[in-house]
Amino acid sequence: MSRVEARAVRKAYGAVKALDGVSLTFEDGSFSALLGPSGSGKTTLLRAFAGFVTLDSGTIAIDGKLVNDVPPHRRDLGMVFQNYALFPHMTVAENIAFGLSVRGAARAAIAERVEAMLRLVRLEGFGARKPRQLSGGQQQRVALARALVTRPRVLLLDEPLGALDRRLRQEMQIELKQIQREVGITAIFVTHDQEEALTLADRVAVINEGRLVQVGMPGEVYERPATRFVAGFLGDANLFEGRVAGGRVAVGGGAIATEDALPTEGAPAILAVRPEKVVLAADAAGLDADLVNRLEGRIVQAVYAGSAITYIVEAGDRRLIVFEQNRAAAPLGPDTAVIAAFAPRHAVLVQP
């Protein structure tokens, strides 16, 4: 269990700045996600923690000790690789034992510990198999056991569930979180899947173009995105761009009220509204009083997705995206006139 700190780390590949001054702390026992699109630098940051990337500048410290010049094999970290990187010429048990055996542990101690790890990841009896005889989910669990067997200070996971299909991924998410809690290890994982980040992590760090954009608890980051990028990357968002006028943000066709502190009068401002916060109604009579932001429009398209329906609403010259639970007897058809309404507290001021 350990604390990991990155201070102003920079790394460039030619003209491309993979990391452009990132500072970030991961607390003891936390489970954190590095979330960003591909090429954002999140994987570079993870690999810098592991020691596979030499930084141009900045420092990385584990438990307050600088590790910049410590080679990977002396950092005492566990890592789960994107395609697991299980040694194909070793059995499952040999794979798991590897970290102990290169440290010169006693044979009996190794065997005992490997058994314990197989139990932890629910793979008792699979020790003698070769990795290629296992399913993707099983390989995933072997990789996890192999990384945890040496009781590392920190567990790093590079897109740990990326190679699994959707159903298995959901199962493994729960299992992974359970194991992390059980072992109590500080864990950091990289993902481009926002849903995975929100489900698994207790802290999410959003990275874009080599910079840390926002860090916080999943609910925080989702409900209160700091920038336009975060609003769009984590889920969907309706963006209202305009200027501050009389305590509201004036946009084409009206003014949007918000509870956020706005910049000075006349300054540009962007408000983001999550699609599920928007309510559709046939007329104003049925709407709650607190939904003071109201736009008249008509439905352009309704996309049926089982439990939910996505509406595209045209209001003036803007298009809104609205999610609704599939509760109504029949979905609203195209061309239906509607009022789209949302509360001021759901209109979040975001940076450009």
Give the binding site for other proteins (CB under 8 A).
50-52, 54, 69, 71-79, 81-83, 85-89, 98-99, 102-103, 132, 146-147, 150, 156
Q: In the complex, what is the shortest distance from the CB of residue 127 to other proteins, in angstroms, rounded to a whole number?
A: 17
Q: In the complex, what is the shortest distance from the CB of residue 139 to other proteins, in angstroms, rounded to a whole number?
A: 12
Residue pair 100/76 in contact by the 8 Å Cβ criterion: no
CA 307 to CA 328: how far, in whole Å? Answer: 11
Between 153 and 346, name the residue whose CB sits nearer to other proteins.
Answer: 153
Q: Which residues contact 133 (CB under 8 A, 6 or more apart)?
A: none
Between 98 and 222, name the residue whose CB sits nearer to other proteins.
Answer: 98
Of 32, 57, 65, the closest CA to residue 46 belongs to 32
Of 287, 290, 271, 268, the closest CA to residue 279 belongs to 287
Q: Which two tokens stand for residue 187?
A: 């864990």
Between 17 and 243, name the residue whose CB sits nearer to other proteins.
Answer: 17
Between 139 and 293, name the residue whose CB sits nearer to other proteins.
Answer: 139
Q: In the complex, what is the shortest distance from the CB of residue 80 to other proteins, in angstroms, rounded to a whole number?
A: 9
Between 147 and 256, name the residue whose CB sits nearer to other proteins.
Answer: 147
Q: In the complex, what is the shortest distance from the CB of residue 201 to other proteins, in angstroms, rounded to a whole number?
A: 21
- Exposure string (b/e) for 158-188, b if CB count within 10 Å is 16 or more? bbbbeebeeeebeebbebbbebbeebebbbb
CA 43 to CA 224: how far, in whole Å? Answer: 25
Q: Which two tokens stand for residue 11?
A: 């790394």
Q: In the complex, what is the shortest distance from the CB of residue 101 to other proteins, in angstroms, rounded to a whole number?
A: 8
Q: In the complex, what is the shortest distance from the CB of residue 10 to other proteins, in angstroms, rounded to a whole number?
A: 15
CA 89 to CA 131: how far, in whole Å? Answer: 8
Q: In the complex, what is the shortest distance from the CB of residue 51 to other proteins, in angstroms, rounded to a whole number?
A: 7
Q: In the complex, what is the shortest distance from the CB of residue 349 to other proteins, in angstroms, rounded to a whole number?
A: 42
Of 190, 185, 122, 200, the closest CA to residue 148 belongs to 185
Q: Which residues contact 226 (CB under 8 A, 6 or more apart)?
A: 213, 214, 350, 351
Between 52 and 298, name the residue whose CB sits nearer to other proteins.
Answer: 52
Between 143 and 339, name the residue whose CB sits nearer to other proteins.
Answer: 143
Helix (H) or strand (E) holding 122: none
Between 127 and 152, name the residue whose CB sits nearer to other proteins.
Answer: 152
